[in-house]
Copies of this chain bind each other. A is one copy, B any other.
Amino acid sequence: MAYSGDPISAHELLFKPAHSIIDQSLHSTMGATTTNGDGFGIGWYSDVAPGPGCFKSIEPAWNDVNLREVAARIRTPLMFAHVRAATGTPIQRSNCHPFRHDNWLWMHNGAIREFHTVKRELTMAVDPTLYPDIEGSTDSETLFFLALTFGLTDDPFTAVARAIGFVETVGHRNGVEFPFQGTIATSDGTSTWAFRYSSEGKSRTLFFSTAVETLHKTHPDLAILQEVGAEGRLIVSEPLGDLPGAWQEVPESAAGVVRPGDDLLQPFEPIR
């Protein structure tokens, strides 16, 4: 889940909504696995320190007392939250999302298939100056570093397209039919880019919230809307709550950006 907008309490975002992300870690209805109990993480930007902070843990999100304590005391204009269902790599903090590099955060729901087979080729393509910054062993973090190598900090749309394109090229070379699956969110603290794509054309779900002014008119009494403000946006894997008209689905093979001023939603295709 990615939030951007007026500063909001992390506790509001994580624990308040019906079918919150914490609830999703226990009872996911749309994810690939019902329970996502292999760790969680939040990354948040604030004015108290430069760069985003990351609180990540291998405890199931629904149990972590420190998360509740900390979340209630964070006010942030931009926050990522993730619950992990591991796809084969160890359960450890360094394998939890979001991943961070400089002031960028990155989350990925999905997988690079047959990662064990293609891992060496992929990591060897990471820029040598970036390679030693890889902390963990996940496919998601490797993809992040490929995107950084291909210029994420200059042009995220192109960089992610090239990264996924490279993953597909290497995958096919190694006999993997559908190398990539998933949704991605990444931010530099001001704008948030989101991607929905899979090699097989059947991707994990991705939703973004309707503009709040619209919701204000249709649901004037809904508490969380008071806090969120006109620029407030949520990008989620599964809708938080059942509010009709509050969520719009990101189409297959699409990418978008949420930022002050105009947002953008456009088709997405890997670059080989």
Over the window 117-146 of chain A, the binary record of Cβ atoms lying under 8 Å from chain B Cβ atoms (1 yes, 0 no) is 101100110001001101111000000000
Whether the pair B58, A59 counts as a contact (CB closer than 8 A) is yes
Q: Which residue of B lies closest to A136 (CB)?
A: B137
Copies of this chain assembled into the complex: 4
Q: Which residue of B lies closest to A69 (CB)?
A: B53
Q: Which one of B26, B46, B72, B73 contacts A35 once the chains associate, using CB atoms below 8 Å?
A: B26
- The CB with the most chain B CB atoms within 10 A, among A44, A91, A131, is that of A91
B residues within 8 A CB of A53?
69-70, 72-73
In this complex, how many residues of chain A approach chain B with their Cβ under 8 Å: the count is 49
Judged by a CB distance under 8 angstroms, whether A49 is at the interface is yes
Over the window 65-101 of chain A, the binary record of Cβ atoms lying under 8 Å from chain B Cβ atoms (1 yes, 0 no) is 1100110111100000000001000111110000000
Over the window 34-64 of chain A, the binary record of Cβ atoms lying under 8 Å from chain B Cβ atoms (1 yes, 0 no) is 1101100000101011000111111110110
Judged by a CB distance under 8 angstroms, whether A9 is at the interface is yes
Whether the pair A90, B93 counts as a contact (CB closer than 8 A) is yes
A residues bordering B, Cβ < 8 Å? Answer: 9, 11, 26-27, 34-35, 37-38, 44, 46, 48-49, 53-60, 62-63, 65-66, 69-70, 72-75, 86, 90-94, 116-117, 119-120, 123-124, 128, 131-132, 134-137
Can you list 11 residue pairs at the A/B interface with Cβ under 8 Å? A11-B49, A34-B34, A37-B62, A38-B63, A55-B66, A55-B69, A63-B91, A94-B137, A120-B132, A123-B123, A135-B137
